[in-house]
Amino acid sequence: MRSTAMRLACLLVWGAFSTAGAQSVNQPAPEYGDQFYRPHVGQSGKNVVWVPTPDNLVTRMLQAAKATDKDVVYDLGAGDGKIPIAAARDFKARAVGIEYNPELAALATRNAQRAGVADRVKIIAGDIFENDFSEATVVTLYLLPELNVRLRPQLLKLKPGTRVVSHQFHMRDWEPDESISENSRDAFLWIVPAPVAGRWTFKEERGEWTGAVTLTQAFQRVGGTLTVASKTQSLLGPALAGADFSFSFVDPEGQSRAIRGKFDGDKFDGWMRFTNYDTRVSGQRATLAAAD
């Protein structure tokens, strides 16, 4: 019996050919590669088969990730290098591709040279589970679901705010922050959340307000309570995007207040808005609870 991975790999190939076939049954299959090496769609790799991502979806994925010249884009499973090349050529980012097949990796390097972006694109012939990509600020994937899930612990250790974009496949219970659709192809965006679960003390700069905040977390979904003067209430509208966090609450006088700011490890720095007036607020984590 074929494994789930192999069945999904076959579906990838079928999808690629059916999309091409829908254009014209008389059109020859596109050729890839150069005079030194010509890969074919559906050829076997380590745990996956090679199916190139369409150019227009590559652009949409990098746009969704808001890639810029300040980013380091890592493509895990780089194939012939089209995503790193697009990131460097069209978005001026520095890009690194990791590709297990050494012939594909060499082709990707030649393609980067031909595209005039070899100074900003590096292709590594290696294993995505063994090579370090911790410097990434954007990660792109076209892998199978179980491989996405195997990579998930490493992805969640990346700097909060790092953007992860996957062509076709999810991360199971880590829900995407955005879905992308382009010509019947799907992709999904995640923003790596800061680990914020635990007990926090928030203090207003002038010392007039102190609150004890307890946060629970499941990836980017955050909930919790605020205790002020022995009265506890649920946080209103807590929202976490990378390291950016905001919530509202009602003070003992019945007035609405809102806090927004940014986490940095065990510290929080931000502002509290009250009756159209902003005042500085700092936070300190007392204990770190286990987080997903």
DSSP 224-290: EEEEETTEEEEPEEEEEETTEEEEEEE-TTS-EEEEEEEEETTEEEEEEEETTEEEEEEEEEEEE--
Examine the pLDDT at 216 and tell me if it is beyond 70: yes
Q: How far is it, in rounded angstroms, from Cα 187 to Cα 176?
A: 10
Q: What is the pLDDT of residues 161-192, one digit of tens each?
A: 999 999 999 999 999 999 999 999 999 999 99
> Could you tell me if residue 280 is inside a domain?
yes
Both 265 and 213 in one domain: the answer is yes
Both 60 and 108 in one domain: the answer is yes
Both 143 and 268 in one domain: the answer is no
Angle at alpha carbon of residue 47, lines to 52 and 218, rounded to 5°: 90
Both 154 and 266 in one domain: the answer is no
Examine the pLDDT at 292 and tell me if it is beyond 80: no
CA 229 vs. chain centroid, Å, equals: 40
**End of a domain among 191, 216, 244?**
191
Q: How far is it, in rounded angstroms, from Cα 200 to Cα 213?
A: 5
Q: What is the pLDDT of residues 28-45, one digit of tens each?
A: 667 788 889 999 999 988
Q: How far is it, in rounded angstroms, from Cα 12 to Cα 191?
A: 25
> Could you tell me if residue 153 is inside a domain?
yes
Examine the pLDDT at 75 and tell me if it is beyond 90: yes
> Mean pLDDT of all residues in the chain?
90
Angle at alpha carbon of residue 232, lines to 177 and 239, rounded to 5°: 10
How does residue 2 score in pLDDT terms, banded at 50, 70 and 90?
very low
> Could you tell me if residue 7 is inside a domain?
no
Both 159 and 66 in one domain: the answer is yes
- What pLDDT is stored for residue 253 in this prediction? 85
Both 59 and 187 in one domain: the answer is yes
Q: How far apart are the first and last CA of the chain?
A: 33
Both 129 and 205 in one domain: the answer is no
- What pLDDT is stored for residue 29 in this prediction? 62
* Number of domains into which the chain is organized: 2
Query: The whole model's pTM is what?
Result: 0.88
- What pLDDT is stored for residue 229 in this prediction? 87
> Could you tell me if residue 243 is inside a domain?
yes
Both 179 and 90 in one domain: the answer is yes
Q: How far is it, in rounded angstroms, from Cα 175 to Cα 95?
A: 26
Both 187 and 133 in one domain: the answer is yes
Q: How far is it, in rounded angstroms, from Cα 85 to Cα 105?
A: 13
Sign of the torsion formed by the C-alpha atoms of 195, 199, 203 and 208: positive
Over range 94-111, report the average pLDDT.
97
Nearest CA among 115, 134, 128 for reference residue 72: 134
* Out of 69-78, 108-117, 220-229, 271-280, least confident range: 271-280
Alpha helix (H) residue ranges in 130-183: 145-156
Report the percent of the chain where pLDDT is more than 90.
77
Both 182 and 241 in one domain: the answer is no
> Could you tell me if residue 21 is inside a domain?
no
How does residue 287 score in pLDDT terms, banded at 50, 70 and 90?
low
CB-count burial class (<10 Å; 0-12, 13-18, 19+) for 106: middle
> Could you tell me if residue 95 is inside a domain?
yes
- What pLDDT is stored for residue 276 in this prediction? 82
> Containing domain of residue 217, as a range?
198-288
- What pLDDT is stored for residue 31 in this prediction? 79
Both 260 and 213 in one domain: the answer is yes
What CATH number is given to the structural domain containing 274?
2.40.128.120
Nearest CA among 85, 114, 88 for reference residue 99: 85
> Could you tell me if residue 68 is inside a domain?
yes
Both 185 and 258 in one domain: the answer is no
**End of a domain among 191, 217, 244?**
191
Examine the pLDDT at 141 and tell me if it is beyond 90: yes
- What pLDDT is stored for residue 18 in this prediction? 43
**End of a domain among 191, 215, 232?**
191
What CATH number is given to the structural domain containing 135?
3.40.50.150
> Could you tell me if residue 264 is inside a domain?
yes
